[in-house]
């Protein structure tokens, strides 16, 4: 998977942050020092390095106190770095499924997203390096990432299925949450159940859940 550019602007890329902004996401737009620290952390993460706050501060030529004032704690910084990589990956998945509609498009878009995550070396390196932290940041409400992903899935469900998905059998939020949990299950299968991550099995589960023919 090629490293996605950070400046994706499609709606699917922005709906998550709009729904669940953080102190750091809001700060990045107007504080050059915060942006500089964030950009360096992102570069290090993509290169497969562990983001170390002491080392990051040293490289930036500041003390740890200044760095924490700019970006918050390590979890806050990691969360924003992770989401900054998820956003353009979602855009890529959206573009790859532009010719599809309805349940089929949702299933294939999310499958593309799972496949890209499973194939991204820097992402898999992070999961292997810090599995407990990765699960906490990516799959619980302790960070904004899951809330943003659910909001993105809600936006997608509304766009493709309307306000009464599957004939009103389930509401938009609950369907979006289930789709996210399926996505997480097959992206982090090795951490959760000792199984292999699998986009193919995620696709099958998405299609069953969405009743996609």
The predicted-structure confidence for 67-124, as pLDDT tens digits, reads as follows 999 999 999 999 999 999 999 999 999 999 999 999 999 999 999 999 999 999 999 9
Mean pLDDT, range 53-77, rounded to an integer: 97
What's the confidence (pLDDT) of residue 142? 78
Q: Region 156-174: what's the mean pLDDT?
A: 97
Supply the pLDDT for residue 2: 46
Please count the other Cβ atoms lying within 10 Å of the Cβ belonging to residue 147: 16
> Kindly report the CA angle at 2 between 95 and 201, in degrees rounded to 5?
65
Whole-number Å distance between alpha carbons of 100 and 107 = 10
- Mutual orientation of helices 74-96 and 102-119 as an angle, nearest 10°? 130
Percent above pLDDT 70 for the chain: 95
Structure tokens at 55: 């080392």
The residue-averaged pLDDT of 202-208 equals: 98
Checking if the pLDDT of 7 tops 60, the result is no
State the pTM of this model.
Answer: 0.93
Task: Give the model's pLDDT for residue 213.
Answer: 77
Query: Which residues are within 8 A (CB) of 208 and not within 5 positions of it... i.e. 6 or more apart?
Result: none
The whole-angstrom separation of Cα 112 and Cα 90 is: 8
208 pLDDT higher than 70: yes
Token digits for 85?
A: 């990589």
pLDDT at 8 over 50: no
């Amino acid at each position: 998977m090629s490293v996605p550019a950070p400046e994706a602007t499609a709606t699917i890329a922005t709906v998550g942050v709009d729904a669940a902004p953080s102190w750091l996401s809001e700060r990045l737009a107007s504080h050059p020092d915060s942006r500089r620290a964030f950009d360096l952390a992102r570069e290090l993460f993509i290169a497969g390095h562990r983001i170390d706050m002491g080392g990051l501060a040293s490289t930036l030529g500041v003390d740890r106190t200044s760095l924490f004032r700019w970006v918050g704690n390590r979890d806050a910084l990691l969360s924003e770095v992770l989401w900054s990589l998820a956003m353009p990956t979602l855009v890529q998945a959206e573009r790859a499924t532009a010719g599809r509609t309805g349940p089929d498009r949702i299933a294939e878009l999310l499958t593309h997203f799972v496949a890209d995550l499973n194939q991204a070396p820097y992402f898999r390196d992070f999961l292997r390096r810090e599995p407990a932290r990765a699960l906490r940041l990516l799959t619980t409400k302790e960070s904004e990432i899951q809330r943003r992903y659910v909001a993105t899935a809600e936006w997608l469900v509304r766009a493709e299925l309307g306000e009464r998905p599957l004939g009103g059998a389930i509401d938009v939020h609950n369907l979006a949450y289930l789709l996210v949990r399926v996505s997480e299950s097959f992206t982090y299968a090795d951490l959760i159940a000792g199984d292999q991550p699998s986009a193919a099995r995620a696709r099958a589960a998405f299609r069953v859940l969405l009743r996609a023919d």
